[in-house]
A and B are shown apart, each in its own frame.
Chain A
Amino acid sequence: MKVQRWTRTSRLFTAGTGGVALALASVPLIFDPDVVQKLTNLLILVILAAMWNALAGYGGLLSVGQQAFIGIGAYGTVFFAGMGVSPYVAMLLAMVLAGAVSVPISLLALRLRAAQFAIGMWVIAEVISILVRLDKNLGAGTGISLIQMNQFAPNFRQAYTFWMALGFTVLFLAALFFLLRSSLGASLQAIRDDEDAARSLGVRVASRKRLLFVLAGFGCGAAGVLVVANTLFIEPGSVFSVQWSAYMIFMVLVGGLGTFEGPILGAILLFAIQTIFTQGGPWYLVGLGATAALVALVLPRGLWGTIEERLGLRLMPVGYRVVAPETKTETKVQASA
């Protein structure tokens, strides 16, 4: 018996991912700005899905309030840009702000379990939303534009924003990838599988969860930054909307809760659906809600989890696999994680 991490598929795919990231970097040089804007939206969805999955899939933390950090990222950008900082620097500052705010919030939120955590986070998002509405300098309830972006020509602006989105996506996916592969990763996956059992084996559940929570704070903050950079106008009603949580839940559930690749697949799927049903509308949301509920009930591992289980396929090596030595062809005894 031996334990292996990499397979030929995962080696090829991981190298391929690097290639895809490089290819994506050339997108703004080739495509029209409106295509670039759409693809920026896709990257925002990928970041959000990966972060929500980090919370729910590995930490068992089902949050209905991650829009709090999206809002802090978006409004933080407007705030710092208003203070005279260059818009793109303001975006970095706003992302750091969202991550920093997640630390004190985690002190309360991580003491709550299941529904208390879910709705507790929602209430925290509502509180932050109300505080923003009370501030006239942030446009109160009617919204505010990121006028400082006007100093860039539209083509360049869209390209810079896209590269920033790509940078954030690579950053957060890589952070999650290396986190899961580190010695921490094993404990995170143990928490995912059975929190009480992990605790009894000496896993420091609370500090691991805090790590994920703060990572998700940074990540959702980055997504919020990109939302305002991509649309140039925000209002509290939409940026703090619980609809973000609905999207995150849909992407992660359909893609595969607790898998690395699943949420990315889910994000691409949601992006495709949004591109097809451009008008949106209530029937489209009925479909999203019904699909999420149905997947939760009948296909709890999501699309990717199911594919992985059936085929023993592994594209990103975040877990280990046991290979029996006696046969020449690799017999997959177990494909964990």
Chain B
Amino acid sequence: MTLVNAIVQGIFLGAFYAVLACGLSIMFGVMRIINLAHGDVAVLGAYLAFVVVERTGASVFVAFAVAFPVMLALGYILQVTVLERSLKAGILTPLLATFGLSIVIQNLLLIAFSPDVRSLGGAAGVFTTASWQVTGELSISALGVLILVVAVILFGALQLFLSYTPAGWAMRATAEDADAAELVGIDSRAVYARATAIAVAIASLGGLFLGIRSAFDPASGPTQLIFAFEAVVIGGMGSLWGTLVGGIALGLAQTLGAQLHPEFSVLAGHLLFLAVLIARFGGGRLTLRVAR
């Protein structure tokens, strides 16, 4: 029964990783770039919600409603000021620029909020404590269910957006071939800016869940980036629903790893990620050729 419980908790944890990874997956799918500041952006969103809660005493969900449009705008600004330039400059430049940005965000958060660990759990009301005790070993938390439901709705909504709206068609066309899309009158710069705005806003939803589930500090971003990236890669880069599956696989690996030994939790996730990489890229040609 503890195993069943571990699996249930793993799915809940995985749904959280999927939300966190969703924005990363969108940006890679549309622009073929990875934003190395993605985790820091998520943490920034959590701090934004935290500030609103502190100032107004509102619930985190109200705070998120305030933070969401701000993050959309920040994503848009990020695209037009940094990413648009870096896209033209080759394959390494977006990585270099966003890595620099990641350090900037982390340390600005440190200056603004001190290294103290914060949590949004207290402001989430009933969701932090309520749980449904099925048996002695198995308990289903309201928060876990909430995150899973939100994750499924989020991915479903994105699928509907991409399949049935003109803006979604433009995004798919640009992802397929930006130059060809330009020929039929799609402004790829606007599409990219929209994609990054959505990605950053969804990242802040991940940050919100991070804050409610556990806690965060200014240095939390890189770990969240690694988990998000692992979810994207495990699920298959460029596949939206794959990211949901990848997130859940990562969550399962971590909770099942923790069953063996508490310290194995994160390690098990990393090993699953590396195993997927080997399976996908290592196949049959693991030979060592000496430089000549």
Question: Which residues of A come within 8 Å of B, CB atoms?
Answer: 56, 60, 62, 64, 103, 107-108, 111-116, 118-120, 122-124, 126-127, 130-131, 133-134, 184, 204, 206-208, 210-211, 242, 245-246, 249, 253, 282-283, 285-286, 288-294, 296-298, 300
Contact = CB atoms under 8 A, between A and B. Distances in A.
A118 B97 contact: no
B73 interface: no
B96 A115 contact: no
A297 B111 contact: no
B103 A286 contact: yes
B150 interface: no
Nearest to A242: B222
A297 B89 contact: yes
Given A62-B92, A283-B107, A207 B291 contact: yes
A262 to B, nearest CB: 14
B289 A62 contact: no
Given A123-B270, A126-B270, A289 B107 contact: yes
Interface string B89-121: 101110111111111101110110000000000
Nearest to A214: B291
B177 interface: no
A286 B111 CA distance: 10
A108 B274 contact: yes
Interface stretch (B42-50, B55-63, B202-210, B275-283): B275-283
A111 B89 CA distance: 23
Contacts of B266: 126, 130
Closest 5 CB pairs between A and B?
A293-B100, A289-B103, A115-B34, A111-B281, A292-B100
Contact of A122 (B101, B104, B107, B226): B226
A119 B34 contact: yes
Interface string B142-154: 0000000000000
Nearest to B104: A289
A289 B101 contact: yes
Contacts of B286: 107
Contacts, number: 142
Contacts of A285: 103, 106-107
B230 A293 contact: no
B1 interface: no
Interface of B: 28, 33-34, 36, 82, 85-86, 89, 91-93, 95-104, 106-108, 110-111, 222, 225-226, 229-230, 233, 237, 263, 266-267, 270-271, 273-274, 277-278, 281-282, 286, 288-292
A268 to B, nearest CB: 20
B281 A115 contact: no
B107 A293 contact: no
Given A108-B282, A111-B281, A127-B274, A296 B100 contact: yes
16 contacts: A62-B92, A114-B34, A115-B36, A116-B277, A118-B34, A118-B36, A119-B226, A120-B274, A122-B226, A133-B263, A206-B289, A207-B291, A283-B107, A286-B111, A288-B103, A290-B104
B263 to A, nearest CB: 6
A113 B277 CA distance: 11
A126 B226 CA distance: 10
A47 B18 CA distance: 39
Contact of B92 (A114, A207, A293): A114
Residue among A120, A131, A208, A297 having the largest count of chain B Cβ atoms under 10 Å: A297
Contacts of A291: 100
Residue among B28, B266, B291, B292 having the largest count of chain A Cβ atoms under 10 Å: B291
B289 A204 contact: yes
Contact of A293 (B96, B111, B271, B289): B96
A300 B89 contact: yes
Contacts of A103: 288
Contacts of A119: 34, 36, 225-226, 229
B283 to A, nearest CB: 9
Contacts of B106: 285
A131 B102 CA distance: 26
Contacts of B226: 119, 122-123, 126
A290 B102 CA distance: 9
Nearest to B285: A111
B93 A112 contact: no
Nearest to A284: B107
Given A56-B92, A120-B277, A300-B93, 8 more contacts: A103-B288, A112-B281, A127-B274, A130-B266, A184-B291, A289-B104, A292-B96, A292-B100
A297 B97 contact: yes
A283 B111 contact: yes
Given A62-B95, A134-B263, A282 B36 contact: no
Contacts of A127: 267, 270-271, 274
Nearest to A113: B91
A282 B110 contact: yes
A296 B96 contact: yes
Contacts of B93: 296-297, 300
A66 to B, nearest CB: 13
A246 B91 CA distance: 18
A206 B95 CA distance: 22
Contact of A249 (B86, B100, B277): B100
B274 A123 contact: yes
Contacts of A116: 233, 237, 277
